[in-house]
A and B are shown apart, each in its own frame.
Chain A
Amino acid sequence: MSILPAAHEIAAAIRSGDLTAEAVTRTALAQIERQNPTLNCFTSVHRERALRDARALDARLRRGESGGALAGVPIGVKDLYDVAGTVTLAGSRILRDNPPASADAVLLQRLRGAGAILLGCQNMDEFAYGFTTENAHYGATHNPHDHARSAGGSSGGSAAAVAAGLVALSLGSDTNGSIRVPASFCGVFGLKPTFGRLPRTGTFPFVHDLDHLGPLARTVTDLALAYDVMQGYDAGDPACARRANEPTIPDLKQDAAGLRAAVLDDWFEAGASDEALDAVRRVAAALGPIRRMTLPEAGRARAAAFCLTGASGAALHRERLRERPADFDPATRDRLYAGSLLPAVVLAQAQRLRRWFMERAAELFGQVDVLLAPATPGVAPLLGQKSMRLGSGEVPLRPNIGLYTQPISFIGLPVVSVPVSTPRGLPIGVQVIAPPWREALALRVAAHLELRGIVGCPTPPA
C-alpha cells in the first residue's frame, strides 16, 4: 500500500481476515517514518502502543470476537486530546511540564472502543490559536500537495496526515474554522458538528462556548462512521447535549436530489478568489437550481467571534501570560495580551449579537435545507506568507483565513467541508452548512456530491 485505503475499507478487510491490524499498523508507521520528516504532521508517534493494540485486536478477531466498526483503522489526534501516559501539549512549550494524561479523551476512547488504532499526536497552532500550523516550538506542518504551502490550521497536522495517507482518520478541533480550514487546504473531508453534539471531555480548551471537536477523513463514509461511533452524551462536558444518537450512515445512500440548497452571497463572496467561487458554483450546480441567499451582518458575526476568541483565550491563559510570557509562541502571545485588554461591553454585545444572528440563520433554514459557502477565501498560502489578496485589496493573511468559517461556528451550526479540485492542482473546500443537529443532512449532501465525482480527495504527488 503506497497510501492507506479508506477507513471503512481497512476495517472491512481486517474483519474479514484479508488483512491483519498489525500489518496495517506497520504499513502506516512506515509511511509516517518516511514522510513525517518532510511533512511534520506528528508531534509524537506511539509506535509500541499502536503495535500492542493492533496485536490485541488481531487476537480478539482470531477468537471470533467483534472487531468493531473501525477495526484496525490507523488514526491520529490533534495534540490537544488527552492520550493516557502522554503530556497533552496543545502545541505549546509551557504545557510540557504538566503530568501525563491519566486517561484518553472521551472521543478517543470511543474510537478505540470501535477498534481504531492510535498512531500518534498531531501538530497544531499553539493553543489552537491560528489558521496555518506554523508553530514556533514544533515547526510548520507542510501541505502534502505542495510542501512550500501551509496545511492550514489549527488542526493542520491532522488534515495533512489524512491527505498524505499516513492515517485514515484524524480528530481535530474547530473554534473558528480549525477543522474546515485545514480540510480545505489539504483536500480532505472535515466535519464540524453542532455545538454541544460531541463531548470535549479530556481535551485542552480554547474558547469554551466556541470549541467543537470533529473528524477529518478521505471519504464521507469514513467521516460518518467516525462521527456515529463518537456520538453520545458525556457528563464531563457541561455543554454536551443530552440527545439520543442520530446515526448518519443509514442516510448516506439517500439521494440528495430535491433538497433545497442555496449559495450564501454578500460576505461569503466578497473577496473570495475565483477558485473558491468556482468551487461553490460546481457544488451548487450538482444540487439543482442555484438559489442565492444573504445571511445578514455576517461580517459583524465574524467580528464578534474574533473578539470573544481574543478575550476568552486571554482569560484562559492569564496566569501563564503573567508567569511565562517568553515561553509562548510570539504570534499567540501578542494576541492573547490584546484580548485581555478588550472592554467588557464588547463581549456582552457579542453574546447578544450571537442570538440575533442565530435568528437570521434560522429564517434562512425555513426556506432551504442547506447553505453553501467557501471554506477559505483561496487555496493554501505559502508558508511564511504574511498577506493575501482579498478582492481588490491586500490584507494580513493569518487573521483573515477564517473569514467564511467564523460566522458559522459562532452560531454552532453543523458543517461538512468538502474538497474540490482546482485547475492548478491545489484543492479548496466548500462548506455544506445544515440547521442545528442536522449533521446527517450535511453528510448526505456530501455523499451525494462524492458519488457524482464533484468532490473528493485528490492524491498528493508522490
Chain B
Amino acid sequence: MAVTASDIDTLSQLTDLPIPPQYREGVAVQLTALLAQAELVLGLPLAATLEPGPVFTP
C-alpha cells in the first residue's frame, strides 16, 4: 500500500519530527519503498530463542 503525503504529515507529528510540506511527497515514496523491505524482514519466521546478532564478537 502506498504511503501518502498526508500519512507523512500525521507520522511526523506523532514522532515529533517536523517534515516540511514540500518534502512530504518525496518522503512518502521513500517510506513506501522502505516498508516493502520491512515486510520482507518481518516475513521470515525466526525461533523465539534466536538472539539479535551483533556482527562478530570483537
Contacts and interface: CB of A to CB of B under 8 A. Distances in A.
Contact of B34 (A194, A307, A325): A307
A242 B56 CA distance: 12
A412 B56 contact: yes
A340 B15 CA distance: 8
B37 A306 contact: yes
B56 A353 contact: no
Interface in B14-58: 15, 17-20, 23, 26-27, 29-31, 33-35, 37-38, 40-44, 46, 50-56, 58
Nearest to B26: A334
Interface string A430-457: 0000001100000000000000000000
Interface in A167-200: 194-196
Interface stretch (A131-139, A217-225, A341-349): A341-349
Given A337-B23, A338-B30, A354-B53, A242 B58 contact: yes
Given A196-B56, A334-B23, A358-B53, A345 B42 contact: yes
Contacts of A351: 52-53
B42 A346 contact: yes
A194 B50 CA distance: 23
Contact of A355 (B29, B43, B53): B53
Contacts of A306: 34, 37
Given A194-B56, A195-B55, A334-B23, A300 B41 contact: yes
A341 B46 contact: no
A63 to B, nearest CB: 40
Given A348-B52, A355-B50, A337 B17 contact: yes
Contacts of A195: 55-56
A352 B51 CA distance: 6
B28 to A, nearest CB: 8
Interface residues of A, number: 52
Given A333-B23, A412-B56, A338 B43 contact: no
Contacts of A330: 26
Most chain B CB within a 10 A radius of its CB, from A297, A300, A337, A356: A337
A299 B40 contact: yes
B22 to A, nearest CB: 9
A303 interface: yes
A55 interface: no
A336 to B, nearest CB: 9
A306 B38 CA distance: 9
B56 A399 contact: no
Interface string A407-427: 000011000000000000000
A263 B31 CA distance: 34
Interface string A291-309: 0000001011001101100
Nearest to A210: B55
A241 B58 contact: yes
A333 B31 CA distance: 12
Contacts of B18: 322
A306 B37 CA distance: 7
B42 to A, nearest CB: 6
A240 interface: yes
Nearest to B40: A303
Given A209-B54, A241-B56, A241-B58, A339 B44 contact: no
Contacts of B43: 300
A297 B27 contact: no
29 contacts: A210-B55, A240-B58, A241-B58, A299-B40, A300-B41, A303-B40, A303-B41, A307-B34, A325-B19, A325-B20, A330-B26, A334-B23, A335-B30, A338-B30, A338-B33, A339-B34, A341-B12, A342-B31, A342-B38, A349-B42, A351-B53, A352-B50, A352-B51, A353-B53, A354-B55, A356-B44, A356-B46, A356-B50, A411-B53
Given A340-B15, A341-B12, 4 more contacts: A196-B55, A196-B56, A242-B58, A396-B33
Task: Give me the 3 closest cross-chain CB pairs, A-B, nearest first.
Answer: A355-B53, A338-B30, A351-B52
Interface of B: 8, 11-12, 15, 17-20, 23, 26-27, 29-31, 33-35, 37-38, 40-44, 46, 50-56, 58
